[in-house]
Amino acid sequence: MALRVQKYGGTSVADIERISNVADRVQKAYDKGDQVVVVLSAMAGVTDKLISLAKQASENPDKRELDVLLATGEQTTAALLAMILKSRGYQAKSFLGFQAGIHTDKASGKARIMDIDCKKVQKALDNGNIAVMAGFQGTDRDGNITTLGRGGSDTSAVAIASSLKADVCEIFTDVDGVYTTDPRICSAARKISKISYDEMLEMAILGAKVLQIRSVEFAKKFNVPVHVRSSFNEEEGTMVINESADMESAIVSGVTCDMNEARITLKRVPDQPGVSAKIFGPLAKAEIMVDMIIQNTRSDGETDLTFTVTKDDFERAREISEAVAKKIGAAEVLTGTEIAKVSVIGLGMKSHSGVAAIMFEALASENINIRLISTSEIRISCVILSKYAELAVRTLHTAFGLDQEK
Amino acid sequence: MALRVQKYGGTSVADIERISNVADRVQKAYDKGDQVVVVLSAMAGVTDKLISLAKQASENPDKRELDVLLATGEQTTAALLAMILKSRGYQAKSFLGFQAGIHTDKASGKARIMDIDCKKVQKALDNGNIAVMAGFQGTDRDGNITTLGRGGSDTSAVAIASSLKADVCEIFTDVDGVYTTDPRICSAARKISKISYDEMLEMAILGAKVLQIRSVEFAKKFNVPVHVRSSFNEEEGTMVINESADMESAIVSGVTCDMNEARITLKRVPDQPGVSAKIFGPLAKAEIMVDMIIQNTRSDGETDLTFTVTKDDFERAREISEAVAKKIGAAEVLTGTEIAKVSVIGLGMKSHSGVAAIMFEALASENINIRLISTSEIRISCVILSKYAELAVRTLHTAFGLDQEK
């Protein structure tokens, strides 16, 4: 007997028929003798509808109350699935955040799970119930309803799996696993059968939307085996697990492409101590996340400073940068929004040298100019002009031998 | 400074515009210096939509899960009103059943409030907040969500008013008070300015849908002054309060008409001890509520037994009655669905004799035959053929002097 947590996303519960299909899958696992905890998102589109209702009520809806409103989406699907299971003769019970003991901090709209008191869910399982949990929600220590941010149901699932010491956390979604790259860009993309938490984390950060970033952090921290798979077929998907020996054969596991950044360059910044703080301080204060930062010192004692931000933050970042540029005496501010960040990710980089060289050569062979470079222990990212993005992805996918089946 | 509980029904919160109107009213009370607790129903039609969604999921939806689903309706309106108030610069906070400390028994779908722990709501008020409470819902002692049945938000409002020792519980609805009779039937109907709990209770039982019966019982038990008024104008409505000296001038306060009953007669029932139990036992077992019961003993040692049930229960009641009739040797079962129960209600009956005589004479003067009669201390009801219902109401309204302004 295994304890399985199964999470189903919005498209998997989009209407009563699909929720019935979810019930089919859940009961199949239960009939095999497994204990099953189901974590549900809201029906596809419902969260957006609720947000638009809130915007009708208030231009800038109060965050606490928005969470109360949004929480109804998952409450609805959880109740409906429990009803269907019970009408088929199964013991089932829905749990909202406060009932499942999901305790979060007080950050409305992007709360973090602090701890889980899973006694009630555990008891329900021990009594033979299928536990159906509303994802995405919890309560803070004062009993206020909170939500975990977009994709938060992934985190709910991993967290309850960790708390219950589940054997696996299955994330059912509308794709059938994690791919070496986006199959819409590169037809040679392959499904990855096993990937490490760290690689998955880099991929999630870089915009692979299969899993919420926090859910991967959580899974890594508590060593929860996560199985990403399709809710529309029976295929095995991708196991996201701890680094293991058989993973290391691949130097690079995946190639990603993020089109959602923009570049800002401050030209001829006086090269003095404290000048960086003058630039990035005001950006941090405005809650703008800066991604890459590159500084080129020139021979004339001045420096060019380039950084990237998301396109959402771009306009505000540019205004702040222009104000700062005047103050510190930089020559001008240049910007570029037509950029793409292509990255290669792989645990193998830790032990293989020359990965960067292969990447730069591959891009050069297609005459793709690299504008910015940044690296982590298991990732190399290059900013290029966005018109080359697809070509770059396909080129790198081939260069690192990802096209062939292993 | 007064503490006011204001309850708004489904038509008063039917869309964002109407919720904004509710916000206008609430802030007017708050600006006057009153403390305000708002209790909301779901948007008109939403509860029915949720029930139909549940029926798609299951022919006979599990009651616990149906409550989880239905509770989202009031959760939505409470969050939206709190948002609107906050966007206007008011301090406001929504409370769901579990947050407001509404503790009920375990009867899903028709739970009764057992006690209220209003500490959190009181604290919010003391901190200058407008408390916006989701009506209709609570939690049982195991933390399961329960709902209070149709019209349950009235009871939520009266209960929280009682718990907080509010000065008044205002029930805002789409009519502007309690009338001497249904104005759609009798154009001479007048709004009653004050009515006693007992009279209101009789009227609610008889189908005046202004207040849920339980809310009146609750108000009576805890002596909560209830003000029934329109959410669409500023007129004073009807105060439902304890019996007081100035009420007693009217012998009859109101005339009601209930078209929702059907009659079943068992002819020639052997007149033996225990025969009633044989008839009403099986009905009780089937959870069929019997309203009036009349027994006419005949000279031949047999008896005719007539009773009424609601039209919803009629078919089941008839089947049971026919089975019982065979068993006990009754001659036949006659039924009638084209009946109406007209009633006159008034505290004055306690001290005035002759009310029944006036009623019977008035009906006789219009050649309306009385089929069944039942009475309570402050009510007389007559069952007549439904085709005479409107005529009977108008006749009684005139006969008891209700047409004129006092």
Looking at the partner chain, which of A19, A62, A86 has a beta carbon nearest the beta carbon of B65? A86
Query: A82 in contact with B at a CB cutoff of 8 Å?
Result: yes
Q: Give domain status of residue B165, yes or no.
A: yes
**What pLDDT is stored for residue A406 in this prediction?**
46
Tokens of B230: 């329109």
Burial B150-183 (b: 16+ CB within 10 A, else e): ebbbbbbbbbbbbbbebebbbbbbebbbbbbbbe
Looking at the partner chain, which of A50, A68, A120 has a beta carbon nearest the beta carbon of B78? A68
Query: How buried is residue A83: exposed, middle or buried, by Cβ count under 10 Å (0-12/13-18/19+)?
Result: buried
Least CA distance to A67: which residue of chain B?
A: B79
pLDDT in tens, B177-209: 999 999 889 999 999 999 999 999 998 888 777
The answer, yes or no, to whether residue B105 has pLDDT greater than 80, is yes
Residue B97's alpha-carbon distances to A126, B75, B136, B144, in angstroms, are 28, 9, 8, 10
The answer, yes or no, to whether residue B248 has pLDDT greater than 60, is no
Query: B118 in contact with A at a CB cutoff of 8 Å?
Result: no
Least CA distance to B61: which residue of chain A?
A: A83
Q: Give domain status of residue B349, yes or no.
A: no
Least CA distance to B50: which residue of chain A?
A: A76
Rounded to whole angstroms, the Cα distance separating A357 from A338 reads 25
Q: Which of B259, B294, B260 is nearest to B371 (CA)?
A: B294
Q: Give domain status of residue B253, yes or no.
A: no
Please name the residues between 141 and 170 in chain A that touch chain B, using a CB distance below 8 Å: 143-145
Q: Give domain status of residue B123, yes or no.
A: yes
Q: Give domain status of residue A231, yes or no.
A: no
We report the CATH number of the domain holding residue A64 as 3.40.1160.10
CA distance B151 to chain A (A): 21
Rounded to whole angstroms, the Cα distance separating A224 from A227 reads 10
Q: How much of chain B, in percent, has pLDDT values that exceed 90?
A: 78
Domain count, chain B: 1
The mean pLDDT of B311-327, rounded to a whole number, is 94
Query: B75 in contact with A at a CB cutoff of 8 Å?
Result: yes
Mutate to test the interface with B, among A65, A66, A88, A139 (most CBs of B within 10 A): A65
**What pLDDT is stored for residue A247 in this prediction?**
64
**What pLDDT is stored for residue A287 in this prediction?**
87
Q: Which of A160, A162, A134, A154 is nearest to A146 (CA)?
A: A134
| CB spacing of A62 vs B86 below 8 angstroms | yes
pLDDT in tens, A198-223: 999 998 888 777 888 899 999 999 99
Using alpha carbons only, what angle is made at residue B337 by residues B332 and B52, rounded to the nearest 5 degrees? 120
pLDDT in tens, B137-181: 999 999 999 999 888 999 999 999 999 999 999 999 988 899 999
Which range has the worst mean pLDDT, A45-59, A316-330, B232-246, B353-367?
B232-246
Block mean pLDDT (10 aa), chain A, length 406? 95 96 97 97 95 96 97 98 98 98 95 95 97 97 94 94 97 91 91 93 82 92 95 92 74 92 92 84 90 82 89 94 93 94 90 88 94 90 95 96 74
Q: Which helix (H) or strand (E) holds B295?
A: strand B290-297
The answer, yes or no, to whether residue B406 has pLDDT greater than 60, is no
**What pLDDT is stored for residue B249 in this prediction?**
67
Q: Give domain status of residue B288, yes or no.
A: no
Looking at the partner chain, which of B60, B66, B83 has a beta carbon nearest the beta carbon of A57? B83
Please name the residues between 16 and 55 in chain A that touch chain B, using a CB distance below 8 Å: 16, 19-20, 50, 53-54
| CB spacing of B83 vs A145 below 8 angstroms | no
For chain B, state the CA radius of gyration: 23
Q: Give domain status of residue B56, yes or no.
A: yes
Residue B34 structural domain: 3-174
Looking at the partner chain, which of B60, B82, B145 has a beta carbon nearest the beta carbon of A87? B60
Q: Give domain status of residue B232, yes or no.
A: no
**What pLDDT is stored for residue B310 in this prediction?**
93
The mean pLDDT of B285-302, rounded to a whole number, is 84
Query: A87 in contact with B at a CB cutoff of 8 Å?
Result: yes
Looking at the partner chain, which of B68, B76, B87 has a beta carbon nearest the beta carbon of A69? B76
